[in-house]
Amino acid sequence: MKKLTSIPLAVMAVSLGITQAANAQGRGNDKPLGAIYVTSQGLYYDTFKTTDLPPRGRFQQLFPDTPMGPSTDYGPGDPGYVGGRWWVDTNNDGMMDELDTYFSCPLLGPGREEP
C-alpha cells in the first residue's frame, strides 16, 4: 500500500517541477528548466509542461522517480518517441488506463550529459 500512495506524490512532484519550469524564460537563463533523462541516449533534455491531456491517442511512459530523476526510454530522433506526450502509471498496474496521469511536455534539444 505504501508504494501505491507514493506514486501519486511522485507524479505531483514531477508535475509541479515541470509546471515551475514553464515559468522560466528559456535556455541560457539562470532559472533552470525541468529535465528528463532519456535512457536510450544517455542524455538529459530541458522541458516544460504545457497541458494535461485526456487518455486518448499515443503516449510514451515517463518514470518519475529514478536515480537520474524523471526518465523515459526514447527521446528526439528515436523510434518510439511521440513528441512529448507522456503517461505516468499512477496506479502502478503496468497498463495505460483512466486512473493514470497524461500530459504534454516537449523535450527541448540539444540533449546534454549532465542535468
Q: For 33-45, how does the pLDDT look when each residue is reduced to its tens digit (9 = 90+)?
A: 589 999 999 999 9
Task: Give the rounded percent of residues in the chain with a pLDDT score beyond 70.
Answer: 71
The torsion angles phi and psi of 60, rounded to 5 degrees, stand at -115, 140
What is the 3-state secondary structure of the chain?
Answer: CHHHHHHHHHHHHHHHHHHHHHCCCCCCCCCCCEEEEECCCCEEEEECCCEECCCCCCCEECECCCCCCCEECCCCCCCCCCCCEEEECCCCCCCCCCCCEEEECCEEEEEECCC
Predicted TM-score (pTM) of this structure: 0.72
Residue 44 carries which side chain, given as an amino acid letter? Y
State the pLDDT at residue 26. Answer: 46
Cβ–Cβ < 8 Å for 87, 100: yes
| pLDDT tens readout for residues 99-111 | 999 999 999 999 9
